[in-house]
Amino acid sequence: MSAETAAGKPRTSRQLDPCLDQLPHLFVSPALFNKFQKLIYSETGIWLGNSKTALLCGRLFRRLRTLGISSLESYYECVAQPHQHEERAQMIDAITTNETRFFREPRQFEFMVQRVFPHWQGDAEQGLRPKRVRVWSAGCSSGEEPYTVAMLLARHLPAQEGWDVRLLATDISNRVLEKARKGVYPIAKAAELPSDLLHSFMLRGMGERDGEMKVKVEIQEMIDFQRLNLDQEMNLVESPFDAIFCRNVLIYFDAASKSRVLARLSHHLIVNGLLFVGHAENLSSMSSQLQSLEPTIYTRTGDKEIL
Ligand SMILES: C[S@@+](CC[C@H](N)C(=O)[O-])C[C@H]1O[C@@H](n2cnc3c(N)ncnc32)[C@H](O)[C@@H]1O
């Protein structure tokens, strides 16, 4: 006996892919999936591989329910209309993977503290650079990454010693940016931070805020959070940057969008500036302007001394 769809019609498994067992009424045909692939790619540079049908259905299910739309076909007809900018932003919010944590990939932060900050300090003392640092967290998700960098900068290059430090933190998802701007996290995340930074830069929630912690205003004020699509032209006021963190973002892109984004990131780095990527991201042979210093740490090439 063949399985039946919610509408009672026999399911032809070659044409219709039942996305999730618990959502028996959401189906996506290969042709419809391909339309979503192209739409998401043109909006974000993210390429959903052919095996991601369950991910598409699972992540859009709640949005369809909110809108009272019962099929992905009808949703596509709505979201693909040129004027539906807001709905496309909602779709991107649902589709993006936003996993992050404080001090993720700690070796890179050790590199900052042990090699980069002393180098910048030495150069500033010799008058070879101003006491000015600009850092960009590109694909910042809910803020743990830029707050980690801001805490380290506040500790090692403090304003009291004349350092002018600012961070730009950007993401394509409004949902995560809203969380990032608030800087409020479950207290369980305290375990991700070294205790000296935790005690210096986090406030523990009391009363109805019990179970939460909040980033101190002095750290929040160092960061400008903005919505920005890395796969579109951009005009960044703070550019060029001394360091860019673009970690665990490029893995979702295909070769063409990755190379476009890398060209933009390099363009916004100073010569000898640093690019940090995620542990699964190897940029070798992807950009002639970037040279590997260590796995996952690159520098923009130039004629001056490298770290
Ligand atoms: C897995 S998170 C990584 C967060 C953080 N960088 C880290 O490593 O912990 C990837 C982030 O990239 C963002 N992203 C994906 N495509 C993007 C694009 N085209 N422009 C800007 N941000 C994008 C997602 O919204 C998501 O928040």
Separation of CA 7 and ligand 1 centre (Å): 37
The answer to whether the CB of 140 falls within 8 A of the CB of 180 is yes
Which protein residue's CA is at the shortest distance from atom 9 of ligand 1? 100
pLDDT at 234: 85
pLDDT confidence of residue 25: 64
Q: Which of 149, 171, 232, 265 to mutate to test the pocket of ligand 1 (most atoms within 8 A of CB)?
A: 171
Q: Residue 215: name the closest of 227, 195, 197, 194 by CA.
A: 197
- SS3 label, residue 273: strand
Residue with tokens 């991107």: 92
Which of 91, 90, 105 is closest to 246 using CA atoms?
A: 105
Give the pLDDT score at 171: 98
Cis peptide before 295 (omega within 30 of 0): no
Nearest CA, atom 11, ligand 1 = 139
Question: Could you tell which of 141, 174, 185, 264 is best to mutate to test the pocket of ligand 1, judged by most ligand atoms within 8 Å of the CB?
Answer: 141
Q: Which atom of ligand 1 is nearest to the CA of 173?
A: 25
Instruction: Catalogue all structural domains in the chain, each as residue range(s) with its CATH number.
Output: 17-95 (1.10.155.10), 106-300 (3.40.50.150)
Q: Distances from the Cα of 8 to the Cαs of 2, 29, 57, 95, 199, in angstroms?
A: 11, 17, 20, 29, 60
> What residue owns the CA closest to ligand 1's atom 19?
44
Question: pTM of the predicted model, to two decimals?
Answer: 0.91
Distance 125 CA to ligand 1 centre (A): 36
CB environment 122-136: b (16+ within 10 A), e (fewer): eebeeeebebebbbb
Vertex 187, ends 182 and 189: CA angle to 5°? Answer: 85
Ligand 1 closest atom vs CA 104: 9
For 244-299, how does the pLDDT look when each residue is reduced to its tens digit (9 = 90+)?
A: 999 999 999 999 999 999 999 999 999 999 999 999 888 877 777 899 999 999 99
Counting from 1 in the atom list of ligand 1, the atom nearest the Cα of 100 is: 9
Q: Are 19 and 58 in contact (CB under 8 A)?
A: yes
Which segments of the chain have a pLDDT < 50? 1-17, 20-24, 303, 305-307
Alpha carbon nearest to ligand 1 atom 7, residue: 100
Q: How far is the CA of 305 from the centre of ligand 1 (A)?
A: 31
Q: What pLDDT, on the 0 to 100 scale, is given for residue 236?
A: 86
How far apart CA 282 and CA 294 sit, in angstroms, is: 11
Closest atom of ligand 1 to CA, residue 139: 12
CA distance 45 to 257: 5
pLDDT of residue 287: 74
Q: How far apart are CA 171 and CA 175, in angstroms?
A: 10
Whether the Cβ atoms of residue 60 and residue 91 lie closer than 8 Å to each other:
yes
pLDDT given at position 306: 46
Quote the pLDDT of residue 305: 47
* Ligand 1 centroid – CA 18 distance (Å): 28
Ligand 1 centroid to Cα of residue 15, in Å, is 32
CB 202 within 8 A of CB 177: no
Q: What are the catalytic residues?
A: 59, 171
